[in-house]
Structure 1
């Protein structure tokens, strides 16, 4: 594991990690202009700000599309108002963004350039590197903030790991439930 540390992060007791669905599993897909996505991003930013106000100062994103990217961008926006907070990107392997469209690779690169800490879990892709990245994030936080709607997959496994390690899990649903 390699790291770049631009600003020293808080210890794990003041850290929040993010997990959540990729755009393919979100009801609004890649359409960030969809009102449901706009609402989700607003609620996500509000949740992160509440955590800052509760004393959490270090935030860890897995650098993937969807929740990870939205959360990292929210932290960077909030850092303008709360300069004490830090952002860490936990990269599962060197080629994480290689197959992404150029616009999303550029966006990920901008986030990495502004991050306070970058942690590479592995340099080469392996079948375990995503699991290892998720385990790293959960083991280095006290709260896991998840975009989750109950679907099986990596997000569900990460939430299970957080529960097993005694971490608090907070869920921001991708779409609000309608009240009858």
Structure 2
């Protein structure tokens, strides 16, 4: 990858990959893959990682970045699509995101209003793409999920801009599960 300063991280929501418990062994494998990819990106020049804070890969990535901050000069930004993005989450999930928000280096919302229309989501994606040099997606095109929309937008954006799209696939997770 070229020298990238800011990387967007996204991927599957927890329910899309059948993870419903904090102790699910899949989370450790996913975090292991995320950590390996993030370290490589840091070594290639990444200094900021952005997420929107969605449950699943983004929350796990935030936890990995916060852990990596102990060893590396990196920053975490959490930029939601609109205010009150997390308001309807259950108490346990709100506690998880609150812990991340308290430790993040930057927290904001693209829209200063609560959810009104899908346009806020489109504006959010556009903002994230224009404020990052590339994205790391835990995503496999054989197993579509909500991230397919971000991926489609990133591919369109890539047609006119220098923008890296990096993947962690199901095969990568399989390899991580069986490696030291």
TM-score normalised by L of structure 2: 0.83
Deviation at 1:153, TM superposition (A): 4.8
Deviation at 1:13, TM superposition (A): 4.3
State yes or no: 1:72 paired with 2:70.
no
Counterpart of 2:86 (choices 72, 97, 112) is 97
Deviation at 1:17, TM superposition (A): 0.2
Residues in 1 aligned to 2:169 and 2:23: alpha-carbon distance in whole angstroms: 18
Residues in 2 aligned to 1:78 and 1:124: alpha-carbon distance in whole angstroms: 32
Contact 2:4–2:44 at 8 Å: present in 1 too? no
What are the within-5 Å matches in structure 2 for residues 29-68 of structure 1? 29-68=19-58
- Unaligned regions of 5+ residues in structure 2, if any? none
What are the within-5 Å matches in structure 2 for residues 137-156 of structure 1? 137-150=128-141, 151-156=143-148
- Unaligned regions of 5+ residues in structure 1, if any? 1-11
TM-score normalised by L of structure 1: 0.83
Runs of 4+ deviating beyond 4 Å: none
**1:129–1:152: structure 2 CA closer, same or farther, 3 Å change rule?**
farther
Contact 1:32–1:38 at 8 Å: present in 2 too? no
Residues in 2 aligned to 1:38 and 1:153: alpha-carbon distance in whole angstroms: 20
Residues in 1 aligned to 2:87 and 2:80: alpha-carbon distance in whole angstroms: 13
Contact 2:50–2:76 at 8 Å: present in 1 too? yes
Residues in 2 aligned to 1:67 and 1:157: alpha-carbon distance in whole angstroms: 15
